[in-house]
Amino acid sequence: METLNDEIARLDMAARAKGGEVFFSRGRWSLLFLSLILAALAIESTASFYETLSIRVAAFFAVLTTVILWSNWRYKFYLPALFFLSIGIGALFLVAVPGIGRSLQTTLNRVFWVCRGGVLGIPSYYLWRQARLFSAVNAPGWEKEQYQVDHWLDVLTTPGRTQEIIEFSTGSFWTRYYTYRLMRPGPYWVIAKFNRGNTRRPFEYRVRELRAVTFMMLPVGETMVTIGKRRMRAVNVSPPM
pLDDT for res 101: 47
Cα angle for residues 17, 145, 29 (degrees, 5° grid): 30
Which pLDDT tens digit goes with each residue over 178-202?
A: 999 999 999 999 999 998 878 888 9
> Could you state, in order of their start, the residue ranges of all structural domains in the chain?
4-137, 157-238
**Cβ contacts of 218-224, under 8 Å, gap ≥ 24:** 223/168
What global pTM score does this model have? Answer: 0.79
What residues contact 23, with CB distance under 8 A and at least 6 apart? 130
What residues contact 98, with CB distance under 8 A and at least 6 apart? none
157-238: what CATH class? mainly beta
pLDDT for res 18: 94
pLDDT for res 60: 84
- Give alpha helix (H) positions in 97-163: 107-119, 121-137, 143-156
The Cα–Cα gap between 180 and 199 comes to 9
Contact 225, 234 (CB under 8 A): yes
Contact 194, 179 (CB under 8 A): yes
Other C-beta atoms lying within 10 Å of the C-beta of residue 138: 19
Residue 211 confidence (pLDDT) above 90: yes
Question: Residue 180's beta-bridge partner residues?
Answer: 168, 193
